[in-house]
Chains A and B, each alone.
Chain A
């Protein structure tokens, strides 16, 4: 089960992705990171072909780091799909965004986001936060029990 600790990083900004990966790898959390560049790609990956097999085998991401401003399909829509599907709704989703606009936060929490974090300008802080988030959700937090059989979902 090589994908057991898979993190999905959904962000279109190359540089931000690189910085996030840097921070995660520094802390040995970067082995199973799957980067997706826009909302459509994310939806395809999560709900496209092969989904049933992944669900059946329990190969679901352990954590999704989601940016809000994404090309094609925005982060809020991705969140809505994730949280309204029985197979994905228990995956922890952390919004990691530059925006601290109230309406974004309200919409995020409305849809059941697990955490909302504003990316700080200062890299040192950014690094700490990314590390803490990774450690918390992958190591400290007890995930929802995996339900292997789709018919039970």
Chain B
């Protein structure tokens, strides 16, 4: 009894030691290989093997780690062919029961299939599944030759206990391996990012030594990695800055934070060939087990500098153009000022003296002379209104837009009311469609309506019943406003001349005009970013269409109303 207990104790302590050994193993392959041998140290057996199941959990994989008979060689090799058959037979049984299986004499047991004759060299067999709570992942097989003792209950218990430890150790290792794999993958990704970064990245330790650089650092500075690592970072700094650099570096180390280096300063790097180049540098502190590191990300700023210089150049030339433009504008202003002042005076004088002369000649004078004097006065008056129009046009070029939300309905109606007063005897049917509220310069846009509508009144002079129509429609997402009349119209082949200054399509004795109105209208429309065009037929109709600045058109409530027809 005492002997037995003693033996048990020895074997238990062996298990303890072995388990420690298992726990200390880092390599799963070594673990698996060692298990069968260790098993034989716990339970003396001629043969032991560890089989691993395929992923399906049903079949034995090619991975079998064995020790014993095969290693011993000689006559026992005869047993070996029987082992795989035996293994398969035991496995089937163990998968079903998930328990250990012990046979005292394998030859005499019925295992449900024929064992080859070689199995007769074996007697006692012990199979123990290696399993966790979820599945059987492998099994231990121990076998004794016919001439040895059979396995005892105690042997079985010991091997089962051992199997538990093996599973634990194996799973721990598998987990570790998976974690290592993941870590390795992450590390590989980070390394690739580090290496392929378009900027040079260098890690520098607290003593200013370069610890690590990426590939771009080599490209940018012309040093190899080996030439840089271990060197003071000043190797990359132009010589004229080297003396002061270490103190600046230490200053940064004492209160490091992520920031651009030398904010607002021009920074330079120095290549191996001593040439210098402009750089932008970003510094960030990094705490590691090996101590504090400073990561410097260095970017070649040559292109940026060049671009900035180009922008500055462009700016300078732009400023110059602006200045020239201002000068031109001032000249124009001076010109229109003197036009307004200097050309007006002689006109007034021509008119004045012609009138005085006519008055002096009295009613009995020669009708021809009187007629000629009238002609002189008319010409002066006409030139006066030409000057007036020209000045308005010139002023338009100078002044900016005073944009505000404007109800075009009000604008159009105001103009119509003014025109009605001017031609009280005309029969005109005004058809005013609802117009939108838009953001525009109301004074200028009123001038547009005023010009277009007074043209409409003028060119329908010969119609017994004139129809003048103001409309709007949506065309390709743009609001188009139109002013049309049933007047004398014009031939479309002259349409391109309509908006030119001093261009007239009618003789002035038929329809008076300066030839400046539509040029002014077009100038106003263009200032608003819009377009104007016309369609017409001679002796039939004329319609002017225009848009104002894109995006400025907001639909007002006007559109809800029916067309408004005003009969005169």
B380 touches A121 (CB 8 A): yes
Contact flag A124-B340 (CB < 8 Å), given A13-B345, A16-B345, A16-B349: no
A19 touches B340 (CB 8 A): no
* Inter-chain residue pair count (beta carbon < 8 A): 59
Which residues of the partner chain B approach A99 to less than 8 Å between Cβ atoms?
Answer: 337, 340-341
CB distance from B474 to the nearest CB of A (A): 40
Complexed CA–CA distance, A100 and B337 (Å): 9
CB distance from A10 to the nearest CB of B (A): 15
How does the 8 Å CB contact mask read for A74-89 relative to B, with 1 for contact and 0 for none?
Answer: 0000000000000000
Complexed CA–CA distance, A99 and B356 (Å): 24
How does the 8 Å CB contact mask read for A89-109 relative to B, with 1 for contact and 0 for none?
Answer: 000000001111100000000
A150 contacts partner chain B, Cβ-Cβ < 8 Å: no
A98 touches B340 (CB 8 A): yes
Which residues of the partner chain A approach B346 to less than 8 Å between Cβ atoms?
Answer: 15
Residue in contact with B345 in the complex, picked from A15, A101, A122, A127, CB distance below 8 Å: A15
Complexed CA–CA distance, A16 and B384 (Å): 16
CB distance from A83 to the nearest CB of B (A): 22
Complexed CA–CA distance, A15 and B380 (Å): 15
B98 contacts partner chain A, Cβ-Cβ < 8 Å: no
Complexed CA–CA distance, A122 and B337 (Å): 19
A101 touches B340 (CB 8 A): yes
Of residues 463 through 509 on chain B, the ones whose CB sits less than 8 Å from some CB of chain A are: none
B341 touches A69 (CB 8 A): yes
CB distance from A4 to the nearest CB of B (A): 29
Contact flag A119-B355 (CB < 8 Å), given A99-B340, A100-B340, A101-B337: no
B355 touches A124 (CB 8 A): yes
Which residues of the partner chain A approach B384 to less than 8 Å between Cβ atoms?
Answer: 121-122
How does the 8 Å CB contact mask read for B352-375 relative to A, with 1 for contact and 0 for none?
Answer: 111110000000000000000000
Nearest A residue to B354 via CB reads A123
Complexed CA–CA distance, A127 and B342 (Å): 19
Which residues of the partner chain A approach B341 to less than 8 Å between Cβ atoms?
Answer: 68-69, 97-99
B242 contacts partner chain A, Cβ-Cβ < 8 Å: no
A121 touches B347 (CB 8 A): yes
Which residues of the partner chain B approach A15 to less than 8 Å between Cβ atoms?
Answer: 345-346, 349, 352-353
CB distance from B80 to the nearest CB of A (A): 118
A126 contacts partner chain B, Cβ-Cβ < 8 Å: yes
Complexed CA–CA distance, A16 and B353 (Å): 10
Complexed CA–CA distance, A72 and B557 (Å): 60
Of residues 310 through 356 on chain B, the ones whose CB sits less than 8 Å from some CB of chain A are: 337, 340-342, 344-349, 351-356
A22 contacts partner chain B, Cβ-Cβ < 8 Å: yes
B381 contacts partner chain A, Cβ-Cβ < 8 Å: yes
A123 touches B348 (CB 8 A): yes
Complexed CA–CA distance, A127 and B345 (Å): 14
Complexed CA–CA distance, A91 and B384 (Å): 33
CB distance from A68 to the nearest CB of B (A): 8
Complexed CA–CA distance, A69 and B340 (Å): 12
Contact flag A119-B344 (CB < 8 Å), given A99-B337, A101-B337: yes
CB distance from A125 to the nearest CB of B (A): 9
Of residues 34 through 73 on chain A, the ones whose CB sits less than 8 Å from some CB of chain B are: 68-69
A19 touches B348 (CB 8 A): yes
B337 touches A120 (CB 8 A): no
Nearest A residue to B340 via CB reads A99
CB distance from B101 to the nearest CB of A (A): 114
Nearest A residue to B356 via CB reads A22
Residue in contact with A119 in the complex, picked from B337, B345, B356, B387, CB distance below 8 Å: B345
Nearest B residue to A15 via CB reads B349
How does the 8 Å CB contact mask read for A14-39 relative to B, with 1 for contact and 0 for none?
Answer: 01100100100000000000000000
Contact flag A126-B356 (CB < 8 Å), given A98-B340, A100-B340: no
Which residues of the partner chain A approach B355 to less than 8 Å between Cβ atoms?
Answer: 123-124
Complexed CA–CA distance, A101 and B337 (Å): 7
Nearest B residue to A126 via CB reads B348
A98 touches B342 (CB 8 A): yes
Complexed CA–CA distance, A29 and B322 (Å): 53
Of residues 377 through 435 on chain B, the ones whose CB sits less than 8 Å from some CB of chain A are: 380-381, 384, 387
Nearest A residue to B348 via CB reads A121
B351 touches A121 (CB 8 A): yes
Complexed CA–CA distance, A99 and B337 (Å): 7
CB distance from A107 to the nearest CB of B (A): 13
Complexed CA–CA distance, A119 and B337 (Å): 15
Complexed CA–CA distance, A22 and B341 (Å): 21
Contact flag A123-B340 (CB < 8 Å), given A13-B345, A15-B345, A16-B345: no
Nearest B residue to A120 via CB reads B348
Which residues of the partner chain B approach A100 to less than 8 Å between Cβ atoms?
Answer: 340
Of residues 121 through 144 on chain A, the ones whose CB sits less than 8 Å from some CB of chain B are: 121-124, 126-127
Residue in contact with A19 in the complex, picked from B344, B352, B380, CB distance below 8 Å: B352
CB distance from A94 to the nearest CB of B (A): 17
Which residues of the partner chain A approach B381 to less than 8 Å between Cβ atoms?
Answer: 121-122
Complexed CA–CA distance, A22 and B384 (Å): 22
Which residues of the partner chain A approach B347 to less than 8 Å between Cβ atoms?
Answer: 121
Nearest A residue to B343 via CB reads A98
A98 touches B356 (CB 8 A): no
Which residues of the partner chain B approach A123 to less than 8 Å between Cβ atoms?
Answer: 348, 351-356
CB distance from A70 to the nearest CB of B (A): 12
Complexed CA–CA distance, A100 and B347 (Å): 16
CB distance from A24 to the nearest CB of B (A): 13
Can you list 17 A-B contacts with CB-CB less than 8 angstroms, sorted by A residue number?
A: A13-B349, A15-B345, A16-B345, A19-B348, A19-B353, A98-B341, A98-B344, A100-B340, A121-B348, A121-B351, A121-B384, A122-B348, A122-B381, A123-B348, A123-B354, A123-B355, A126-B352
* Contacts A15-B352, A124-B355 known; 4 new A-B pairs at CB < 8 A: A68-B341, A100-B340, A121-B387, A123-B352
Q: Which are the 9 A-B pairs with shortest beta-carbon distances?
A: A123-B352, A121-B384, A15-B349, A98-B344, A19-B352, A98-B341, A123-B351, A99-B341, A123-B355
Chain A positions within 8 Å of B, measured between CB atoms, are 13, 15-16, 19, 22, 68-69, 97-101, 119-124, 126-127
